[in-house]
Amino acid sequence: MGEQNELFAALRELGKPIVAVLVNGRPPSYPALAEGADAILETWYAGEQQGNAIADALFGRVNPGGKLPVTVARDVGQVPNFYNYKPSARRGYLFSDVTPLYPFGFGLSYTDFAFGAPQLSSAAIRPGQGVTVRVTVRNTGPVAGDEVVQVYLRDKVSSVTRPVKELAGFRRVTLAPGEERLVDIPIRADAFALWNRDMKRVVEPGEFTIMVGPDSEDLQETTLTVSQ
């Protein structure tokens, strides 16, 4: 808004490290900050204790572990921008990048995490059944922190068009430095259902791609079969 980009450019000329603190009620597009800032802290509107919360995060008294509940666009030409788009969407403008500036579910902290390959409680289920996704998560950084393990799914072949991915479950875990944990996330039976052409809620047999990771883009995959 206003001349904030010009102010940021002037600050960058000083050669000092810069942490950008965003206070906003909706996700703006800030490619200049993403490229030039040393860190970005998204605070939204956090109420009367927002100042204390920001100070705690900036000075390391707490380790932020939040994830974006929205997709942050690179420019206005991408709007509307969301992770669960249809396969025919996002053709984009000529010479423009269709990828988001920051994807849905993205968020960093003062530590790092490593994910193992996802495993399923069963490789095949029947309509009306759910499944549990199991994945190993390890804190590979120097301090304790939180990670939000996210599970997405995609119906490979369906009678009506479905999104390229849909959030099916998540779990927040706290890990000490070097700690590793096996995380189980259940997917409910209705997550596999769709509204067909007759406007009936049904689960169609076929293969589903199950995706697990720290956000909606950095994902590992496995396959689940829904049988007749």
Hey, what long-range contacts does 82-85 have (CB within 8 A, 24 or more apart)? 83/165, 83/167, 83/216, 84/163, 84/164, 84/165, 84/166, 84/167, 85/163, 85/164
Domain around 192: 113-226
Are residue 58 and residue 120 in the same domain, yes or no?
no
| 78 belongs to a structural domain | no
- Assess if residue 91 is contained within a domain: no
Give pLDDT tens digits for 145-170.
Answer: 999 999 999 999 999 999 999 999 99
- Whether 56 maps to a domain, the answer reads yes
Which of the residues in the chain have pLDDT under 50?
A: none
**Number of domains, the chain:** 2
Alpha-carbon gap, residue 67 to 46, rounded angstroms: 15
Same domain? 144 vs 54 = no
> In this structure, what CATH number is given to the domain that contains residue 186?
2.60.40.10
**Domain end point (choices 24, 40, 62):** 62
- Residue-level pLDDT at 222: 98
| Residues 177 and 117 both lie in one domain | yes
Closest CA to 134 of 220, 49, 54: 220
Please tell me whether residues 129 and 39 are part of one structural domain: no
Decide if 194 is inside a domain: yes
In this prediction the pTM is 0.92
**pLDDT score of 94:** 62
pLDDT at 49: 95
Residues 120 and 217 in one domain: yes
